[in-house]
Amino acid sequence: MTLLSLENVGFSYQKSRPVLHDVSFSVRQGANVGLVGESGSGKSTILRLLLGLARPDTGTINFSGDELQSRDSDFMRRYRKSVQPVFQDPYSSLDPRQRIDRIIAEPLRSLKIEGDHDAAVDAALEAVGLPRDARNRYPHAFSGGQRQRIAIARAIVSRPQLLLADEAVSALDLSTRVRIVDLLKQLSGSLTVLLVSHDLGVVAALCEDIVILERGRVVEMGKTQDVLANPRHPYTQKLLSSIPRLR
């Protein structure tokens, strides 16, 4: 089943300087997708559109069959229950003045989700491999990798269907990166991840499908294994050849 699709999406920040051209790709439920491209290719802009922070100039974004209505607050509340972001920097994305339980429960409050918030926080902590007593501490007591686990716990506490992960492991050292990728893999039974990254190694480890973006255009997409084993577009070939350890 198609969870998310972009159809012919175009976008510009300034008139006559488009940064996305006719972007189309889809995310199937249960099949993680890596969105890859060099700096400035438009990856974060796509995430902005998917979060409803900006609207496409042309084309449409559909989630579970419904067109994204970023100006409709009821729609956006339902949408945000199902689609949650995880950001790159585990240091700046957590409010240092708030306790972990409050940080993790934030989507439950802002989305007005009823039920036992304490139990939901405990379940999210367990899912990301942190002890229950982590809930009583503050972000400064945790390492970068643990903070990213807390950020992931916050993202999954509303039981979303899709995680939008913006370079979610790039700021971490290599061994922590591997552990967080493993965690995302574990979670991806019930959850689908759209991972924005310029790290093809991470995409290869986590994502079934890959979309390659060059200067706001999709130049290649398909099964990650196939695209990386047999890149057809010169831009993909260039991206691959710039990572010698993958060869």
Q: Count Cβ atoms below 10 Å from residue 159 Cβ, excluding itself.
A: 15
Instruction: Rule CB under 6 A: say whether 39 interacts with ligand ATP.
Output: yes
Of 12-20, 92-100, 154-162, 235-243: span binding ligand ATP (CB under 6 A): 12-20
Question: Which residue of 5, 26, 44, 62 would you call a contact of ligand ATP, by CB under 6 A?
Answer: 44
Classify residue 53 by its DSSP letter.
Answer: S
CB nearer to ligand ATP: pick between 43 and 177: 43
Indicate the helix (H) or strand (E) that contains 97. Answer: none
Alpha helices in the chain (DSSP H): 43-50, 73-82, 100-110, 117-127, 144-156, 174-187, 200-206, 224-229, 234-241
Instruction: Rule CB under 6 A: say whether 56 interacts with ligand ATP.
Output: no
Q: Count Cβ atoms below 10 Å from residue 151 Cβ, excluding itself.
A: 24
Q: Measured between alpha carbons, how far is 122 from 124 in angstroms, rounded to an integer? A: 5
Instruction: Rule CB under 6 A: say whether 96 interacts with ligand ATP.
Output: no
Question: Which residue of 5, 7, 10, 19 would you call a contact of ligand ATP, by CB under 6 A?
Answer: 19
Q: Measured between alpha carbons, how far is 201 from 222 in angstroms, rounded to an integer? A: 16
CB nearer to ligand ATP: pick between 101 and 214: 214
Where b means 16+ CB within 10 Å and e means fewer, 206-226 reads bbebbbbbbebbbbbbeebee
Instruction: Rule CB under 6 A: say whether 16 interacts with ligand ATP.
Output: no
Instruction: Rule CB under 6 A: say whether 234 interacts with ligand ATP.
Output: no
Instruction: Rule CB under 6 A: say whether 18 interacts with ligand ATP.
Output: no
DSSP assignment of 220-244: EEEEHHHHHHS--SHHHHHHHHT-G
CB nearer to ligand ATP: pick between 47 and 104: 47
Question: Which residue of 18, 37, 56, 139 would you call a contact of ligand ATP, by CB under 6 A?
Answer: 37
Task: Look up residue 38 and give its two tokens.
Answer: 């060099």
Where b means 16+ CB within 10 Å and e means fewer, 227-241 reads bbeebeeebbeebbe
> Least CB distance from residue 144 to ligand ATP, whole Å?
19
Contact string (CB under 6 A) for ligand ATP, positions 167-206, x = contact: -------------------------------x--------
Instruction: Rule CB under 6 A: say whether 53 interacts with ligand ATP.
Output: no
Instruction: Rule CB under 6 A: say whether 149 interacts with ligand ATP.
Output: no
Phi, psi angles (nearest 5°) of residue 40: 90, 0
Of 36-44, 123-131, 154-162, 168-176: span binding ligand ATP (CB under 6 A): 36-44
Instruction: Rule CB under 6 A: say whether 88 interacts with ligand ATP.
Output: no
Residues at the contact surface with ligand ATP, assessed by CB under 6 A: 13-14, 19, 37, 39-45, 198
